[in-house]
Every structure is written in C-alpha cells, then in structure tokens.
Amino acid sequence: MSENALPHEPARPRRALPQINPVYFVLAALIVAIIVQNPAFVEPTGYMNFLKRAAPLAILAAGQLYVIVSGGFDLSVGSLITLVVVGSSMLTNNDPNATWWVIAVMFGIGLGVGLINGLVVCYLKVPSLIATLGMMITLNGLALMWSGGAPRGYLPDSFRFFGRFNFTDLPVIRILPVAIIVLVVAGFVLYWFMHRTNFGRLLHAIGDNPRAARLAGVPVNRVRISAFVVSSLSAVVAGILLGGFAGVSTDVGLGYELQAITATVLGGAQLLGGRGSVPAAIAGALTLMAIFTLLNFLGLPQPVRQVVQGLILILAVAATVYRQRRAGR
C-alpha cells in the first residue's frame, strides 16, 4: 500500500478516449431493439409516450441518487407516491380549484417526510435502510387510513394536467406531454445541484468518507438531511405525475423505491456512496422502462418483469464492482 500507484493487474494500455458510462450504450441498444419490434416507436407519439411513462421513474431515480451518493438508501419513496396520490384525491374532493393548494400541501408532506428520514438517520443513528423501511410501512398505513381502505373519488383534470395532458399540433415534434416538460425541468435542477454546486461535491464527500468529511469541517448532518429531502420531494413530483395517468389506488407507488434504486445502479452509481451521476441515473431509469417495454412486446406476463428487475439489480451491481476492480481500486 505504501508504494506507488502501479496498477494491480498488468492491464491493456489505457484508452485515449474518455470513459463513457456504459448505460448509454445499453439504452441505445434497447431503443434499437424496441424500434425493430415496433417501428411506430420512431413516430413522435411513440417515443413521447414512452418518455411520458418513464418520467416519474426518471425523476424518482434522480432524487434517489442523492441519498445513494450520500451513502444511504431511501425506501420510503414508493409509499410516499401512494400517499401523494391518495391524499390528493381525498383533499381535492373533486374540486378543480383545490389543485394548487393541494399540491403545496403535498410538497409540505414531502418536506416533512424527508426531514424525518434525515433526522432519524443522523441523530437517532438508525441505518437508512431501516429508517426508511419504517417510513415506507408507516406511510403505506397512513395512505390506507386516509382513504378508509378503499380509495374513492377522482383527481380533478386540473390535477391530472401534469401527468396526462399533451400539447398537440406542435411543429416537428407534433405532441409534447407536460410530463416531459416536468422531467426536463426537474432533471436539470437535480443535475445542477448534484454536479454544479458545493452541495453536490459535499454530498459525494460524505458518502465517500463521512469521518474525513466531518474532520474537514463539512456539515455532515445538514448535507445528509438535505439529500433525504431532495429524494422525498422528487417522490412528490413523481406522485403528482403518476396521479395524472395512473389513477387513484393504494398500490400506485408499489415497488417504485426498488425500481429507482435499480435505475441509479444501472447508471453506475456506487452503492454505499461517493459516486453517481444524475444524467446516468435518468438513463438508467429509461433503460429499465425500455426493458419493461420490450418484455411487454414479447408478451411476457407481469411476474417476469419482477424476475428481470431482480436479476438486473444484481448484475448491475456486479458489473460496477467488476469495472472498479479492473480499474485498480
């Protein structure tokens, strides 16, 4: 250890080109496969619909990435989505004018959930996996209690605008779903904070070595709590979009937490912290959706999706570990 930086393996000469995250190649290949299966995908309605359906997961994955890079996990986001959808339908009570304040309340709930997750992890020292698992169960229970067991009512169209509405008759692209605008804006904001601010660099530092970060003066708890808040707020955004096109049910957010984690891992994020990229996490989410779409085309039943997702999660982590070992450290 004391010696030099010699590579451990006599590896082949280093490539001159900068390393490109493999997730982009995988995504490109999958899109080609989808087009082969269904040529209509190249039409704006084809890919726009794909992006629209992928938008909630992509936003969720980008938010989850904050917690992953900080060295934790946020399992509570799926139930938070459910709570947002169920809670919004209860609160709006079919009143279109209620949309705006209900959305504000939902962001308030998201802020609260993120703060509690972060405070529990930082001050009660509960590992994030357990803290957010507890939050996941609690929020699910709250959603069921709130809806009285069976959700009723509908979300008004003014609320469903974000998830469902398409601008049509546009030049070139013809249609533009609002969900995609939300994805682009949220994705850019999340990208900016992760890769262009102190917050992002400090987040990487505390995920990499929290003790060293603390001794260097980093406000570790503040940064960590902020990561949980970002993740929760991204879940609220995802919930609002899903409420728009998935309708009201108590299992609307089911499984989204693991899909989001899978997406970040597909994007090359380091589980246990220290490394991750927002664009790659979004590409990871699109990759996951593309795989699901392909499975659909192939007529495989829903349970197969779960098997595939599980295998992808394991393979993606294994691939990341393998690449890092090859790189020397």
Partner 1 sequence: MNETVPETVPPPVIEMQGIGKSFPGVRALHDVSFAAKAGEVHALVGENGAGKSTLIKILSGAYRPDAGTILLAGAPVSFQHPVEALRAGISVIHQEFSLLPERTVAQNLFLGREPVKRGLIDYTAMRAETRRVLDLFGAGGRIDPDMLVTELDVASQQMVEIAKAISLEARVVVMDEPTAALNEAECEVLFGIVGKLRDRGTAVIYITHRMREVTRLADRVTVLKDGEVATRFDTRPAPDVIVRAMVGRDIADFYAPRATREEIGDVVLSIRGGGNAALRGIDLDLRAGEILGFAGIQGAGRVALAMALIGHRPFTAGKVYLSGAEVAFAHPREAIRAGIGLVPGDRKAEGLTPMQSVRDNGMLTARAFAGLAATHKANHHTDLAGMDRLLDSLEVRAASYDQSIGSLSGGNQQKAIVARWLALKPKVMIFVEPTRGIDVNAKAGIYHLMRELAREGTAILMISSDLPEVIGAADRILVMRAGAIVSEFGPGPTEAQIMLAATGETEAAA
Q: Nearest CA to 56 among 186, 229, 194?
A: 186
Q: Encoding tokens for residue 31?
A: 């899109």
Q: Under a CB-based contact definition with an 8 Å cutoff, are residues 285 and 58 in contact?
A: yes
The vertex-213 CA angle with 132 and 317, nearest 5°, equals: 50
What is the per-residue binding string for partner 1 in 95-124, x denoting contact by CB under 8 A? ------------------------------
CA dihedral sign, ordered 163, 57, 192, 111: positive
* Rg, C-alpha atoms of the chain: 20
**Span interacting with partner 1, options 104-112, 119-127, 204-212, 283-291, rule CB under 8 A:** 204-212
133 vs 125: CA distance, rounded Å: 14
Tell whether residue 214 is a contact of partner 1 (CB under 8 A).
yes
Tell whether residue 71 is a contact of partner 1 (CB under 8 A).
no
Q: Which amino acid is located at 275 in the chain? A: R
Tell whether residue 174 is a contact of partner 1 (CB under 8 A).
no
Tell whether residue 193 is a contact of partner 1 (CB under 8 A).
yes
**Span interacting with partner 1, options 110-118, 148-156, 165-173, 205-213, rule CB under 8 A:** 205-213
Tell whether residue 72 is a contact of partner 1 (CB under 8 A).
no
**Span interacting with partner 1, options 146-154, 193-201, 228-236, 251-259, rule CB under 8 A:** 193-201
Tell whether residue 16 is a contact of partner 1 (CB under 8 A).
no
Q: Which is nearer to partner 1, 106 or 220 (CB)?
A: 220
Identify the burial level of 32 via C-beta atoms within 10 angstroms of its C-beta, where 0-12 means exposed, 13-18 middle and 19 or more buried: exposed
Chain residues in the site for partner 1 (CB under 8 A): 1-7, 10-14, 193, 196-202, 204-205, 208-209, 211-219, 222-223, 226, 270, 274-275, 328-329
